[in-house]
Amino acid sequence: MISVRVNLGARSYNIYIGNGILAGLGSWVRECADGEQALLVSNRKVLSLYGPMVSNSLAEHGYRVVSVEIGDGEKYKNMATLEKLYDQAYSSGLDRHSPIIALGGGVVGDVAGLAAATYLRGVPFVQVPTSLLAQVDSSVGGKVAVNHPRGKNIIGAFYQPTLVVADTRALRTLPPREIKCALAELIKYGIIGSAGFFNWLEENIDKLLALHEGALVYAVAAACKSKAQVVEEDETEQGRRAILNLGHTAGHAIETLSGYGVFCHGEAVAIGTAAAARLAEAMGLLPADQARRIVDLLNRAGLPISLPPTLDSDKMIAVMRRDKKSHAGKLAFVLPLAIGSVQVCDDLPEELIRQVLF
């Protein structure tokens, strides 16, 4: 097992990463939440696979567990689902010491996290990510949100978890598409801050696709360490943390315009990352051979690298202007300067973006 510490003063927490560690959840939760009840949030499939083990572990350490099932998929990351969690928390008598535990992927973590951040003005929040995407990205860093019909993640908060437990054994039940989607975020970490990790991914991408246990544990830990360093420097995304949004300007616009669920998040981010590499190359910021390596690795991971032809370019530009990195309607992208180094570039020429993306 590997332990990663996220150092944020009073909001610091541990991330435990390993194979077959889920049975130990109750003891770790008890160390950081002294309530008598726990609200376990999950979807039907994950709850059927891991709910009994998690509930038993929590019960063994003194918790009365109340499970609540939410819908599976991005379309359920909304205010209606959030209200369902509030209703269950209230009817179950949760108090400020009672943890809300997210058992599942990014959607479960986002909705449960926003519930934890706002119910009684904040209760302990435990992330138990069971998807590779959640293990390497969304479960770490404290960004929680739900979607609005007009935009992704525009209703949310910064609320750090009390604990993260990532059991890579849970990844065995994932469909291949979900594994591929998560690889987009892993590749992102290599591009934004570690040429060495990017090189490792080039050498080990096939092992990750085959769910090689040692490779998975190493990759999840490396991603968590990378994200922890960025979050420690800029917890609330006032500056440096924006680099974590590589590929997300175009990616979020693709998700919004296509309808949530048409593209998985990682697929949209992969298209956005390839677009960022091509933009950087066209602007003379990124050497052509490095842009090619980025696009090639995304392609080897089985991810899309081009915008779907059905997307309306005018609508795409309009949505990207409302991206959270943008200011006064100017188009802003995180662009790679080299593998291992990126910067936020604002006020990009619309004509160049249209030329490269469309």
92-107, pLDDT tens digit by residue? 999 999 999 999 999 9
Rg over CA atoms, the chain: 20
Q: Quick: pLDDT tens for 224-268.
A: 999 999 999 999 988 889 999 999 999 999 988 987 678 988 999
The H or E element that residue 299 is part of is helix 288-300
Q: State the pTM of this model.
A: 0.91
pLDDT at 125: 99
Cα separation, 155 vs 253, whole angstroms: 16
pLDDT at 356: 87
Rounded to the nearest 10 degrees, what angle do helices 176-193 and 288-300 cross at?
160
Catalytic residues: 121, 143, 185, 227, 237, 241, 245, 248, 252, 265
As to burial, measured by CB atoms within 10 angstroms (0-12 exposed, 13-18 middle, 19+ buried), residue 206 is exposed
* The two structure tokens encoding residue 215: 């490779």
Select the CATH number that applies to the domain covering 176-357 from these four: 1.20.1090.10, 3.50.50.60, 3.30.450.70, 3.40.640.10: 1.20.1090.10
Cα separation, 34 vs 94, whole angstroms: 12
Amino acid at 275: A
pLDDT at 258: 86
For residue 156, give the 3-state DSSP assignment.
Answer: strand
pLDDT at 17: 98
Report, as ranges of residue numbers, the positions in the chain whose pLDDT lies below 70: 260, 328
Q: What is the CATH number of domain 2-173?
A: 3.40.50.1970
Domain boundaries, the chain: 2-173, 176-357
Closest by CA to 344, choosing from 241, 250, 227, 243, is 243
pLDDT at 304: 97
Are 120 and 86 a contacting pair, CB within 8 Å? Answer: no
Q: Per DSSP, what are the bridge partners of residue 155?
A: 146
- Segments of 71-139 assigned E as strands: 100-104, 125-129
